Amino acid sequence: MADAAGGEGGGSIVARGVIAREPGQPGVVEEFTIDAPGPGEALVRILASGVCHTDLSAKNGVFGTEWFPFLLGHEGAGVVERVGEGVTNVAPGDHVILAWRAPCGECRFCRVGQPHLCAASLNAEKRMRTMDGKTLTPILGIGTFCTHTLVHSKQCVPYDPALPAEQMSLLGCGVTTGVGAALNSADVKPGTSAAVFGCGGVGNSVIMGAKLAGATTIIGVDIDPRKLAWAREFGATHTVNPTEGDPVAAIKAITGGHGVNYAFEAVGRAETIEQAIFSRDLAGTCVIVGVCGPEATFELPLARFFDLGGNLRISWYGDCLPTRDFPLLAEWYRQGRLDLDRVVTRVISLEEAEEGFHAMERGETLRSVIRI
Ligand code: APR
Ligand code: ZN
Ligand code: ZN
């Protein structure tokens, strides 16, 4: 890390990271500058970052083109290097997982005790710029495919440095999203049945969550046999491949003709949402985790939907509270109850980030993790 402003400790620095300049173009490693942390902010040296779908979507322009250039990555762990004025929750040297939800404590949701729905989550000011002076948008207010990033200090959740940064980074997004969908959003009860549509990094994390909650029938549904093999390793008791026949019928057959108590959708397609809704037993809960494209729609037969009863809900970020859930999941990892090692399919370098996206698109990985 070089000191661009020449200031002792307090100046701006030059970092390196994967930057997406134009929609649809590959992310390229570039140098960029980071101003000194402002009040409440923290400069974090990144140790590891998972490669998540949202980075690929942002890079491809799915969230609009006005935010380019992006500093990619939002699933990271690192070490606090410097803090701004008034920071008390972390100090330099702390190992932290970065959260993209940092409840403000003051919005209409936080005020009524629902900080997991915070509508004004805290982020640092935009203090990172390309060497040609363009202001960078860090993905989900984080930016982790880089040597350093600047976040709000409340986005930093400490973890025990004896735990591996690669595995801890995954708690920042995908794993917490999946496990949280089972534990927080659905509140899966012991002895129940669950079906999980889509057994990628998120879906397999739902499977881990359902198993932790004591579900006894867990059905992994995926069109890719490799993903179904992984699903069994994570705790699926049954698997269903929709290319071999109607998955709803297969789920009913496994559950004595009734359907499941909980159905999770972790693909992000209208077709699988519809299948998830109708694979439930009476009064079952359907939780949508997958993010559909803007054009996705389907027709809902309302009488059939009503007659099933139950719940249909959306789960954002597994309804997690990072300060409560990251330490809990880290502890379960330490105890051997949460198999994060198996989620880390590949460890790659910063320069290989683009290859990480391609491996994801080819379905070869649950997670590539960049080690900085
Ligand atoms: N039925 C079942 N599974 C399917 C189908 C289908 N029709 N189509 C695709 N899949 C499977 C893929 O084979 C893949 O294993 O869905 C899985 C999706 O997993 P990943 O691509 O690895 O994505 P993941 O990171 O797990 O995220 C899943 O959750 O948070 C959201 O934005 C995220 O929408 C995405 C979803
Ligand atoms: Zn809030
Ligand atoms: Zn993510």
Write down the residue that tokens 């590539």 correspond to: 368
pLDDT of residue 62: 86
The residues facing 36 across adjacent strands are: none
- 76 SS3 class: strand
- Determine the Cα–Cα distance for residues 154 and 59; give it in Å rounded to an integer: 26
Backbone angles phi, psi at 21, to 5 degrees: -90, -35
Backbone angles phi, psi at 127, to 5 degrees: -115, 15
d(CA 116, ligand 2 centre) in Å: 8
- Determine the Cα–Cα distance for residues 329 and 59; give it in Å rounded to an integer: 29
Asked whether 122 and 155 are in contact (CB, 8 A), the reply is yes
Domains of the chain: 2-22+74-157+166-174+319-371 (3.90.180.10), 178-317 (3.40.50.720)
For a mutational test of ligand 1's pocket, the pick from 53, 277, 319, i.e. the residue with the most ligand atoms closer than 8 A to its C-beta, is 53
d(CA 209, ligand 3 centre) in Å: 17
Give the strand pairing for 193-197 and 260-265: parallel
From the list 363, 356, 364, the residue with the least C-alpha distance to 48 is: 356
Tokens of 128: 């990172």
- Determine the Cα–Cα distance for residues 99 and 141; give it in Å rounded to an integer: 9
Backbone angles phi, psi at 247, to 5 degrees: -65, -30
Atom of ligand 1 nearest to the CA of 57: 32
Give the strand pairing for 128-130 and 41-50: unpaired
pLDDT of residue 63: 83
- Residue nearest to ligand 1 atom 21, measured at CA: 200
d(CA 54, ligand 3 centre) in Å: 5
Which amino acid, 139? I
Backbone angles phi, psi at 64, to 5 degrees: 100, 160
Residues of the chain below pLDDT 50: 1-9
The residues facing 20 across adjacent strands are: 70
Which amino acid, 294? P
What are the distances in angstroms from CA 143 to CA 80, 156, 252?
14, 13, 43
pTM: 0.95
Compute the 3-state secondary structure of the chain and give helix, strand, coil in percent, each to the nearest 5.
30, 25, 40
d(CA 127, ligand 2 centre) in Å: 23
pLDDT of residue 275: 98
The alpha carbon of 80 is separated from its chain's Cα centroid by a whole number of angstroms, namely 21
- Residue nearest to ligand 1 atom 17, measured at CA: 198
* Segments of 124-188 assigned E as strands: 128-130, 137-138, 148-152, 156-158
From the list 367, 51, 12, 368, the residue with the least C-alpha distance to 201 is: 367
* Segments of 159-259 assigned E as strands: 193-197, 217-221, 238-240
CB atoms within 10 A of CB 41: 27
What are the distances in angstroms from CA 295 to CA 53, 245, 276, 299, 305?
18, 26, 19, 13, 22
